[in-house]
Amino acid sequence: MKYIDEYRDPVAVRELIQAVSTTAQRIGGEPLRFMEVCGTHTMAIFRFGLRQILPGNVELISGPGCPVCVTAMAEVDRIVELSRREGVLVATFGDMLRVPGREISLAQAKAQGGRVEVVYSTLEALELARKNKEAQVVFMGVGFETTAPTVAAALFQAAGEGISNFSVLSCHKLLPPALEALLSGGKAKVHGFLMPGHVSTMIGAGAYEPLAREHKVPCVVTGFEPRDILSGILMLLRERAAHSHRVLIQYSRGVSWEGNTRAMGLLERVFQPRDSLWRGLGRIPDSGLALRPEFQGFDAERVFDLQPVPETEAQDPPGCRCGEVLQGLITPPQCGLFGRRCDPQNPVGPCMVSSEGTCAAYYKYN
Amino acid sequence: MCLAVPMEVLSIEGDLARVDQAGVKTRVSLMICDEPPQVGDYVIVHAGFAIHRLDPETAHESLSLLADLLAAADEGPGREE
């Protein structure tokens, strides 16, 4: 497949592994912890077995890169409650279906008689509204900057067509403020970031400049094939070796410095930043998106007069350490529930529920 | 969740494009694509939307950049203490 196969070329991959090894050896010293903040990276790293082939002083840790996993339980509770209301049809990406709120998940709500439909794109959710005129279709808007513009596009289209039975419950999260909060918190020790490819397609690599400068941490925007990821690691090692902390683009076929200004322009016309509650990280200023007043007719919070999300997250289920996993403070096997009471069939926390969650990745590939 | 894949544009009709990857054909929106693609171009597709037109030259450059990176690694700097 074009634009994929050439980035899996085994000869090039072997050479890269060698180069990573040599460079890491030359640097020596304490282990370097590089954090990836993208569920798709997490999965690719496990799928291609990259953790095992890295030299001993290079450690890859996963950060809050899975939008499903960082959705607050209180946000799940709100959509579950909506799905039980008369005349409401909830549309959601499949990823969100099994994530439990404080009591139940959308899948359980559906089993109990709630109307919940899985869609692949926001335009499918809009199509549900066109076909089910008797229902109020509410789309659960989850996702980072990659996905939020697709929601903005659907809202723009809905407004243009005058569709009146469609609304969005915005649970969107913005990545740079969360990384800033993570580093400012001081608990997570990170020597470099493998930045997410497709979030960066939208926001542009330039968005990480303040983070790199203020925390003196190199950032490499990285693609998803083995050659990409190993190159990203090599670029981070070279930055460390040179005592440099630049923002670099490895994934240049998908990412520019400025980003997708068309998509971001649309996003800004529909949404405005607001504080948001993250699972594991708590409340982070300006890390979420609210619908602008011009779009209030499509804002599920206003349409259904919902209570705001509480200031702090509810307690995790007993024993669940997803909060620490999401901050890269522990690896999943350090959680007492992992593989015992918590597995992909009976997940307790969100990092095991989501197919791109760190716990699910560890479970599947270890 | 931010999974996105390169797909070839087979035809374009207004804001929609028919695209293909390894025989899987689907229809995607071009509403938020950074540049308008032509038939035969590749676009990166996320959740039913094309989000980026792949430029063959940039993609080629990125491959040679990888080669440069390897060459540089052989003689790269060490950590200065």
Q: Do A40 and B72 touch (CB under 8 A)?
A: no
Provide the β-strand partners of residue A136: A88
pTM confidence score: 0.93
pLDDT, tens digit, for every residue of A234-281?
999 999 999 999 999 999 999 999 999 999 999 999 999 999 999 888
The pLDDT tens digits of the residues spanning A313-345 come to: 777 888 999 989 999 999 999 999 999 999 998
Residue B79, pLDDT > 70, answer no
Q: What are phi and psi of A26, to 5 degrees?
A: -60, -40
Confidence of residue B73 (pLDDT cuts 50, 70, 90): low
The dihedral of CA A67, A70, A75, A81: what is its sign? positive
Res B81: pLDDT: 33
Q: Is A61 helix (H, G, I), strand (E, B) or coil?
A: strand
Within 10 angstroms of residue A29's Cβ, the number of other Cβ atoms is 10
**The pLDDT of residue A9:** 86
User: What's the pLDDT tens digit per position in A123-142?
Assistant: 999 999 999 999 999 999 99
Torsion angle (degrees, nearest 10) of CA A322, A226, A209, A147:
-60
Task: Say which residues have a Cβ less than 8 Å from residue A128's Cβ, sequence separation at least 6.
Answer: A89, A91, A117, A119, A137
| Calpha distance A152→A362 (Å, rounded) | 34
Q: CB burial class (10 A; 0-12, 13-18, 19+) of residue A362?
A: buried
pLDDT in tens, B1-41: 788 889 999 999 999 999 998 889 999 999 999 999 999 99
| Number of neighbours of residue A54 by Cβ within 10 angstroms | 19
User: How large a percentage of chain A has pLDDT more than 90?
Assistant: 84
Amino acid at A352: M
* Mean pLDDT value of segment A98-126: 95
Indicate yes or no: CB of A3 within 8 angstroms of CB of B42: yes
What local confidence, expressed as pLDDT, does residue A11 receive? 87
The answer to whether residues A72 and A278 touch, using CB atoms and an 8 Å cutoff, is yes
Contact assignment for B2 to A146 by CB distance below 8 Å:
yes
Q: How many CB pairs lie under 8 A apart between chains A and B?
A: 152
Of A316, A296, A315, A314, give the one whose Cα is nearest residue A306.
A296
Distance, in angstroms, between B11 CA and closest chain A CA? 18
A215 pLDDT higher than 50:
yes
Please tell me if residue B77 touches chain A, with a CB cutoff of 8 Å.
yes
- Token pair of A301 as six digits: 């919070």
Residues of A with CB below 8 A from B5's CB? 4
pLDDT digits (tens, 9 = 90+) for A180-195: 999 998 888 999 999 9
Q: What b-and-e string marks burial along A223-249, b requiring 16 or more CB atoms within 10 Å of the CB?
A: bbbbbbbbbbbbbbbbbbbeeebebbb
Q: Does A198 touch chain B (CB under 8 A)?
A: yes
- Please state, in angstroms and rounded to a whole number, the distance separating the CA atoms of residues A166 and A159: 10
Closest residue, chain B, to A124 (C-alpha): B48
pLDDT at B78: 43
Q: Is A253 on the interface with B (CB under 8 A)?
A: yes
Q: Is residue B62 less than 8 Å (CB to CB) from chain A?
A: yes
Q: What is the pLDDT of residues A27-84, one digit of tens each?
A: 988 899 999 999 999 999 999 999 989 999 999 999 999 999 999 999 999 999 999 9
Query: Is residue A361 within a helix (H) or strand (E), and if so which, with residue range?
Result: helix A358-365
Phi, psi angles (nearest 5°) of residue A338: -55, 120
Interface of A with B in 271-330 (CB under 8 A): none
pLDDT-derived band at A160 (thresholds 50, 70, 90) equals: very high
Check CB contact of A16 with chain B, cutoff 8 Å. yes
